[in-house]
Structure 1
Amino acid sequence: MTTIPGSRTVTTDDRSATRAPDSPAPVAVAASTAVTVTTSVTVTTATATTATATTAELTRLLYGPDHERVHGPWRRLLADPRMRTDPGAATADRIAASYRRLRQVNRMTDATALATDPRALAALHEWLGPLDGALVVVAGIHYNLFLGSLLDHDPHEKRPLDPYLAMERIGTFLCTELGHGNDAIALRTTAVYDRTDRTFTLHTPDAGAQKFMPNTGPAGGPKSAVVAARLLVDGRDHGIFLFLTPLTDEVGPLPGVTVRPLPQRPGNPVDHCLTSFDEVVLPHEALLTGEHGRLGPDAGFTSSLGSRRKRFLTSIGRVTAGKLCMSAAAVGCARAVLTVAVRYAHHREVTGARADRRIPVWAHRSHHGPLLEAAATTYAMTALHRAAVERWTGRDDTDPGEIAAAERLAAVTKGWTTWQARNLIIECRERCGAQGLLPVNGISPLAMDIEGTITAEGDNLALWAKAGAELLLAESAPPGAVPEGGPDDPAVLQSLLHAAEHLHLSRARVLLRQAPSGDGLRRWNTASPAALAAVTAHAERSAGAALLALAEQATEPRARSLLLDLYRLFALRRVSTESGPLLSEGLLTDHYVRLLPDLIEQVIGRLADRGRQLVDAFGLPEEFLAGLPIAGPDYQRAFDHPEAHWNATEPAVRPI
């Protein structure tokens, strides 16, 4: 046994024979190691100067050095009273209001610049997410999927963009069909080319080929779409491409276009519809072309890609940026909901140990503990999202491997952040009790909106299945030896997160090799649970690394200390979840596993009086929070009755 300073030992015992040769040495903690757990909490803040400096540094790290340019306009938009929603309004009025807000967004931005800047697009979604989930949908579709697709393809000069830039026509994106969602490569809508008059005939052949997408309803005014359809030339199928298609005018659907509203979903309403085409004739320039496919004057088809699947994925390439936008909306919603829950917990009082004493519910470990863990997760979500956006924007488009890795990180980030946001919103809603159920307090509508982000731009499970298969087959470096350090040292914890990912991948590879050959689906079904567990571990390791990177950038000592404790809380909880596999493989000792709950409680104790500071760093405008009653200390006034007897200046005279 080799003893390492810091009350930690690395040991090799009989269990090491069961480990793979490239597995790291186990982590053990000396039996005498003790952890002091703080269980009391005083609801106070640091001095104003210190708190301001620390909070400002946390904000800078969360939003980046260019945060005023990228995030500032949308943050100010959140404070605009004209952007507020009315949860009690009629459904049609709420849908119409979302389109009015969309035009307000358009008046304050350069639409072309926004559509071509992934950072700005993501920031827009971060701040619109807590405001109006329906606005997130229509803005993301118009700027990213519709306008972005037009800008990404050639030739621009044949398709004037002015009506879409000025929102004289709103753009939508029609890909998913009633019978084809995650298998959109099999969609059945066709665009048959007529070489005589150089036109396409767009057609929906059956009920299953109806486009099952938002937002083609009458609200918002005239609309056009980019429609994914199968290009047929002289009977030959060249794969799926996008076609610019006018849908409606001021009166309604254009000839040959049928739009039927779907039943309303819960949450902020959007005009989801079934859209179909009956022999709609489109001009030659309606086809969105590029290196992946062009149609010459003589109907000759050329493409740099031999695979129809790759042509399709290139045509809908904007979906990757869409994943980053959905992740951004989830992160923004998580920050807003957590802010409301933490603020409410600090001014919602209950009876203390003495009947004559009132204390905030935050004082209870059972209340602030889950919210602090939610804060650690939210900071990790934000950091991972930032890393994914930077990876995507900084990719080398000449390197297929780098493109694939950036796309995979976007998919993994989208799945992990949206799932985490769902869990966090549910936790925060419960911590706010019955008040959390009221839409006016801003939590319950987001609980439904987040379901849309989980499904949009590819269902999470389908995205993770693809990512799991890629990780399974990719070359991956095994984790190295666990570095020296104490049991809650960030380097040690990050090494353990890496080891957990490696264990799941190794197990999946073994299962894949052992499965009977000749049946690909059966082999994948055998390995997929372990592969999906590996994706979870990969997401958590990546989020942890991104959060650590934020801490390393901190120049203010208290901000750095807070970020490191948030990382410890995040990583210790994940290591605790993975402690079974890590222990069984000899990578942890039983004493370390028993110590984990105390280590978690110790970090929670250190963070207990920093809850407000952690959420204040999110920078949500007070004007926005003022519209959510329980976010303010005088929330009871919002539910007061001005004519009630307790507000009467004179006692009421009752007849005898």
Structure 2
Amino acid sequence: MNTKADVMAVVPGAKALRSVLFGPEEGELHAPWRTLLSAPAFRRCPGMSDEEHLEWVYERVRLLNAAIEDPLALVKDPVRLACLHEWLAFVDPTLSGVSTIHYNLFLGSLAAQAARGRDLRPYIDMQQLGTFLLTEVAHGHDAAALETTAVYDRATDSFTLNTPNAGAQKFLANTSEVGGSKTGLVGARLLVEGKDQGIFLFLVPLTDGTGALPGIRVRRLPARLGSAHDHCLTSFDRVRVPREAMLDGVHGRITGDGVFASEVSERRHRFMTSIDRIMTGRICLSAGTVGAARAGLTMAVRYGRNRHITGLTESSRLAVFDLRSHHGPLVEAIATVYAMNMLYRQAARRWNERDRTDQAALGQAARFVSVAKAWITWQSRSVAAQVRERCGAQGLLVNNGIAQQLMMTEGVITAEGDNQAIMVQAATELLLTHRRPAAVAVGARGRGLTDADFLGDLLAEAERIWLDRAQAARRAAPAEALARRNHAMGPALRGVDVHGHRLAAGALADAVAAMPAGPDRELLEDVLRLFALRGVAAHSGDLLSRGFLTGEQMEELPVLMEGLVARLAGQADVLVEAFAVPEEFFEGIPVASPDYIAAYDDPEGPWQKEPVSR
């Protein structure tokens, strides 16, 4: 099928940048999703109610599934699964959310069970839609403290699931009757002969398409702003499931004679093994926000070109994008999205290639993915806010989809591990290993602010400065553990934020280094410089006071950044064309149209009538 999506990158220079953004496997990993999601069936009808939208979402997730040759192979390939989310999230955030839950959390968690003879066909074919019930009202990031119980009964060789109190109700899962029959993976505390063996996942049928099954209570939560998702509260009243319902493995199982056995002694480790798809989920959420940011900036730049205002004289007209106050924030956002894009790809590759036998390396890979997810999604919020503002009142209208993308970003900031909690964990780990080198390798003399390596070193020094402060604050705090943690955490979080910026700059620098010399590389070098300088500027006072920057460089810094913004503004069309967003994605979105006014034309308006003769 030939679509407009196949005929892109017409702006000179965009082709080389596009190959950097998507890599040599673009045709294999991205083109199929772009083509599929460019089909008319994935264009939403205007004016749908939230319930109609929700029905549309569940119809489309099955349409998507029918087009996937082997869903089980897809969930075993984190990179390809994440690539789907890059294009899906902008098409419809709710559809992206439902897909993430079914494919990554549900089917991905079940994938290992296929080798043990479990029949996954009902879930692969979507006769049963999968959902994931881990979070409880009282337990989010501390999911290891879940209170839902699964009591094993040796006499019946079965488990009984129960919700003991209001705080143990499962929170936010899409368990309503909308969308057909659903089965969930339920996180519950396994009790065997009264002994707590930790949190495991249990496969539990939930609804039959008309309502909840016996013993299961489902109540819809209030609507979430910007999403039609059917978030619910779900509880269990002595729901019995067979022994085979438990997703077992080396971390724990019930033997044929009804005895619990595990090769993992520590309960928290068992829990983390059970929910290891959370890490792939973080990659998918990063991918979705990167894709949505690329599309949003493409629209904002187009709108800025098409929106004209009175120029410097009353008789002149001026594209609003020509104003420094308008294009400056967008150019900086474009540079940020290029860095987000490369960091996400690096995180996906690193997790896909991780060594499962090396616990230290595995922990480092997990921290890299987690920091990338938090940093990328926070940056995506800032980018989405700039897109909304630069599109003015148009950005607030539902038919332009910008406000929904902003609210989607708010959702993913909390999903698969709240960003703040993720960064606290990462900051704690960085502090435990932080050691300042005996000799500082960075010196301002003889190194210029156009040197990308120097900028990377400056970001590394800014990170060390904040981690030094965190360690000093912890030492100066009262001996009580909470006080020591609280005193250290403020500067430690600043340090891990710089750490994320540095990782993104490094990922973008690697992409630049891989390009052949020429104008395209020079353009991407400017993107890298602007992005890195933004990070340096945020910590320039500290860097100056410690001799890493000179006074002359402090004066040069804002001038250099302004020059880069001016140069990149002239290349904005090239930079966003490389994002390769299919034209079909913008159908029905006025702000993306060359003639956005036509979307609001009134066939009965007085201007349509013949002028009155005098």
Q: What TM-score results when the alignment is normalised by the length of structure 2?
A: 0.95
- Say yes or no: does 1:415 pair with 2:377: no
Bigger shift: residues 230-239 or 116-125 = 116-125
1:223 positional shift: 0.2
Per-residue CA deviation, residues 17-70 of structure 1 (Å, 9 max, x unaligned), is xxxxxxxxxxxxxxxxxxxxxxxxxxxxxxxx9974520111111011101111
1:577 alignment partner in structure 2: 538
Counterpart among 312, 319, 338 of residue 271 in structure 2: 312
Give the Å deviation of 1:451.
0.8
- Equivalent position amino acid for 2:104 in 1: N
CA distance in 2, matches of 1:631, 1:355: 27
CA distance in 1, matches of 2:32, 2:373: 24
Determine helix, strand or coil for the equivalent of 1:247.
strand
| Deviation by residue 1:198-256 (Cα, 9 ceiling, x = unmatched) | 10001111111100022101111000000000000000000000000000113311110
* 1:93 aligns with one of 52, 56, 62: 52
Q: Does 1:618 align with 2:579?
A: yes
For 1:148, the equivalent position in structure 2 comes to 108
CA distance, structure 1, for counterparts of residue 266 and residue 207 of structure 2: 34
1:521-560: CA deviation from partner (whole Å, max 9, x where unpaired):
2111010011111110100000000111111122362221
**Structural RMSD (CA):** 1.8
Which residue number corresponds to residue 88 of structure 2? 128
Secondary structure at the aligned position of 1:473 is classed as: helix
Q: Could you say which residue in structure 2 is the equivalent of 1:44? A: none
1:586 to 519, 532, 547: 547
Offset from partner CA, 1:130-176 (integer Å, 9 cap, x none): 1111111110000000000011347641x311111111100000000
Partners of 1:80 and 1:268 lie apart in 2 by 22
Q: Which residue of 2 aligns with 1:198?
A: 157
Deviation at 1:652, TM superposition (A): 6.4
Question: Which residue is 2:331 aligned to?
Answer: 372
CA 271–181 in structure 1, closer or farther in 2 if over 3 Å, else same: same
Residue 228 of structure 1: SS of its match in structure 2?
strand
1:488 corresponds in structure 2 to: 450
Q: Deviations over 1:385-414 (max 9, x none)?
A: 011111101111111111111111111111
Give the structure 2 partner of residue 324 of structure 1. Answer: 283
Q: CA deviation at 1:653?
A: 9.0
Percent of paired sites with the same residue: 49
1:607: how far off?
1.1
SS of equivalent to 2:357: coil
Q: Pick which of 364-373 and 346-355 moved more.
A: 346-355
Distance 1:591 1:349, change over 3 A: same
User: Runs of 4 or more off by more than 6 Å in structure 1?
Assistant: none
Amino acid of the structure 2 residue aligned with 1:208: G
1:113 is the counterpart of 2:68? no
For 1:389, the equivalent position in structure 2 comes to: 348
Contact 2:443 2:548 in 1 (8 A): no
Higher deviation after alignment, 229-238 or 434-443: 434-443
Q: Mapping of 1:420-499 within 5 angstroms?
A: 420-474=379-433, 478=437, 480-482=441-443, 485-499=447-461
**Over alpha carbons, which structure has the higher Rg?**
1
SS of 1:248's equivalent? strand
> Residue 293 of structure 2: SS of its match in structure 1?
helix
Aligned residues: 603
Residues 341, 431 of structure 1: 8 Å contact kept: yes
Looking at structure 2, the residues matched to 468 and 412 of structure 1 have their Cα atoms a distance apart, in angstroms, of 9
Give the structure 1 partner of residue 3 of structure 2.
none
Instruction: Report if aligned partners of 1:95, 1:271 keep a CA contact under 8 Å in 2.
Output: yes
Contact 1:223 / 1:246 at 8 angstroms: preserved in 2?
yes
Q: Choose which of 469, 472, 479 in structure 2 pairs with 1:507.
A: 469
Matches within 5 A, 1:180-329: 180-329=139-288
Contact 1:150 1:156 (C-alpha < 8 Å) held by counterparts: no
Could you say which residue in structure 2 is the equivalent of 1:20?
Answer: none
Q: SS of the residue aligned with 2:207?
A: coil
Partners of 2:244 and 2:102 in 1: CA distance: 20
1:81 Cα deviation (Å)? 2.0
Tell me by how many angstroms 1:651 deviates. Answer: 4.2
1:598 aligns with 2:564: no
Q: Secondary structure at the match of 1:192?
A: strand
CA distance in 2, matches of 1:628, 1:51: 21
In structure 1, distance between residues paired with 2:476 and 2:248: 45
Distance 1:50 1:200, change over 3 A: closer
- Preserved CA contact (<8 Å) 2:459 2:502: yes
CA shift, 1:442, in A, is 2.0
Deviations 1:622-641 (A, max 9, x none): 12123211212111111111
Gaps of 5+ in 1: 1-48
Q: Is the 1:57–1:556 Cα contact (8 Å) retained in structure 2? A: no
Q: What are the equivalent positions in structure 2 for 1:48-87 lying under 5 Å apart? A: 52-86=11-45
Q: Who is 2:569 aligned against? A: 608
Q: CA deviation at 1:592?
A: 1.5
* Matching residue's letter, 1:231: L
Task: Report the Cα offset of residue 298 of structure 1.
Answer: 2.1
- 2:482 is aligned to 521
Partner of 1:553: 514
The CA distance in 2 between the partners of 1:390 and 1:444, in whole Å, is 31
Q: Does the CA-based 8 Å contact 1:468-1:534 persist in structure 2?
A: yes
CA distance 1:315–1:356, shift in 2 (3 Å): same
Distance 2:593 2:211 in 1: 45
1:155 to 1:239, Cα distance in 2 relative to 1, 3 A: farther
The verdict on how the C-alpha distance between 1:295 and 1:631 changes in structure 2, with shifts beyond 3 A counting, is: same
**Which residues of structure 2 form unaligned runs of 5+?**
1-7
Relative contact order, higher structure (CA 8 A, sep 6+): 1
Query: Does the Cα contact within 8 Å between 1:87 and 1:439 map onto a contact in 2?
Result: no
Q: Which stretch of structure 1 is more off in the superposition, 216-225 or 578-587? A: 578-587
